[in-house]
Amino acid sequence: MKPHKLTKENYQSGQVVLIDKPLNWTSFQVVNKIRWLIKQHFGIKKIKVGHAGTLDPLATGLLILCTGKFTKKIETYQAQIKEYTGTITLGATTPSYDLESEINQTFDVSKITSEEIQGTTQQFIGKIQQQPPPFSALKKDGKRLYEYARAGEEVEIPKRTIHISEFEITKIEMPNVEFRVVCSKGTYIRSLAQDFGKALNNGAHLSALRRTKIGDFSVENAVGIVEFEEIIKS
């Protein structure tokens, strides 16, 4: 269900707000904007608002926001399985595994077949070991990994166990490969794109990403920031 007009008490006692995050916004910026809108409209000095799972600035789609007492439920929502759609671009790698950084290496994709691409997905189904990208917010020795990466420092990033239950190729238009993935908490789709390129003895990076589901929540029931503002002011 898309959000309808609620009272100040509703937001304070606790609400789940589903936002369709726009491109180039950080998850933190979305939380700040929604908190500001609620405070401004209802004249509240303070209200808790948090999100249940970060989306990168270059990703769009479902962001679960919790207000008031519902912020205690954030960890529960974070643990649920997630569905993404997006595009992997073959033939080139970037240090960040996506378009946040410039291409650093190119490869010939002329001999890669559709059958190879479809078949390679099977290597990633089930419980696998994945290395998080160097440009991520994970901490090592008290510093974010992206801080090391931006300073040009190489650090050892331990792999971790994730689970991918579905990995479907939905369209191939070389060098772009569109996909749908259903995966566990802690999965980095950027790393999946990088590893997919390696599995094809090539290179790849993530060029588009959209989160479509978290557990039983769907982006179809989410609203954009402008629409949320219209609802709250109506």
Over residues 92-151, the pLDDT tens digits come to 999 889 998 899 999 999 999 999 999 999 999 999 999 888 766 666 666 676 676 666
CATH number of 8-79+216-233: 3.30.2350.10
pLDDT band at 5 (very low <50, low <70, confident <90, very high): confident
Radius of gyration of the chain from its Cα atoms, rounded to whole angstroms: 19
98 is catalytic: no
The β-bridge relationship of strands 204-214 and 59-67 is: parallel
**Sign of the CA dihedral running 150, 153, 154, 158:** negative
Q: What is the pLDDT of residues 29-51, one digit of tens each?
A: 999 999 999 999 999 999 999 99
* Backbone dihedral angles phi then psi of residue 17, each to the nearest 5 degrees: -115, 125
Q: Which amino acid is at 87?
A: T
Average pLDDT for the chain: 92
d(CA 24, CA 29): 10
Q: How far apart are CA 33 and CA 6, in angstroms?
A: 17
Catalytic residue (one of 20, 56, 98, 195): 56
**Spatial distance between the Cα atoms of 140 and 158, rounded to a whole number of angstroms:** 10
Q: Where are the domains of the chain?
A: 8-79+216-233, 82-214
Q: Which residues contact 171 (CB under 8 A, 6 or more apart)?
A: 177, 178
SS3 136: coil
How many other C-beta atoms lie within 10 A of the C-beta of residue 125? 12
Domain 82-214: give its CATH code.
Answer: 3.30.2350.10
Instruction: Judge whether 8-79+216-233 and 82-214 match in fold.
Output: yes
